[in-house]
Amino acid sequence: MIDDIMTELEERFEKARQALSRELSKIRTGRANPSILDRVRVEYYGTPTPLNQVAAVKAPEPRLLTVAPFDRTILGTIEKAIHASDLGLNPNSDGNIIRIPIPALTGERREELAKQARRLGEDARIAIRGARRDANDMLKSLQKDGDISEDEMHGGMADVQTSTDKAVASIDQMVEDKEKQILEV
């Protein structure tokens, strides 16, 4: 029973780490990264479609993204969608491909992005603490129902805390690495 609780707890921790990793990859670091356009939706045949499903997005240079639509008729629509996104990018079209220069980040903008990364890290830590609370509640419930002894409950809670500490350290390291990337000039 305790093993089941620990397995579920580790799964929830891993989901929190993966969600944080996904969110951190969307934050610009001053280098061109195709994942910064993941949130852009393009109106394609009346349906909002992710940009990466209607075009190939590549980073041929450190400060340039290229978007090559699979259907050239939506070139203008893609350009408008990128303009409308809150990314602050200015796409340029040559009729076949869209080039998006990635401007260098100002010191102020880098600090904002670092704060955003820290905020995302705190959200992940909150999710981890919630999972810890749920696991501890399950252990207390098992002990109350007589399925495990009080010593087993305390041992399980110690294991939960150890696992939680490792997960929080992992989250902190991810955020710290992203901050270094953002603040690197």
Kindly report, residue by residue over 45-60, the tens digit of the pLDDT: 888 999 889 999 998 8
pLDDT value for 61: 87
- Whether the Cβ atoms of residue 172 and residue 17 lie closer than 8 Å to each other: no
Checking if the pLDDT of 31 tops 80, the result is no
Which one, of 108, 121, 167, 100, lies nearest residue 23 by Cα?
Answer: 121
Quote the CA–CA distance of 169 and 119 in Å, as a whole number: 16
**Maximum pairwise Cα distance, the chain:** 72
Among 85-89, 135-139, 148-152, which is the least confidently predicted range?
85-89
pLDDT value for 104: 79
Q: Angle at the Cα of 50 (from 71 to 74), degrees rounded to 5?
A: 25
Among 64-68, 72-76, 84-88, 140-144, which is the least confidently predicted range?
84-88
pLDDT value for 129: 96
Q: What residue type is 85 in one-letter code?
A: S
Q: Rounded mean pLDDT of the chain?
A: 90
In order of their start, the domains of the chain are: 2-26+107-183 (1.10.132.20), 34-101 (3.30.1360.40)
Residue pointed to by tokens 């495990």: 148
What is the DSSP code (8-state) at residue 105? P
pTM, entire model: 0.72
- List 48's β-bridge partners, or say none: 43
Return the structure tokens found at 65.
């993204």
Quote the CA–CA distance of 148 and 126 in Å, as a whole number: 28
Report residue 86's pLDDT band, with 50, 70 and 90 as the boundaries. Answer: confident
Q: What is the mean pLDDT of residues 89-109?
A: 86
Could you list the beta-strand ranges (E) of 45-176.
47-50, 55-61, 64-69, 92-93, 98-101
Better pLDDT: 104 or 159: 159
pLDDT value for 185: 66
Which one, of 164, 117, 181, lies nearest residue 12 by Cα?
Answer: 164
Checking if the pLDDT of 73 tops 70, the result is yes
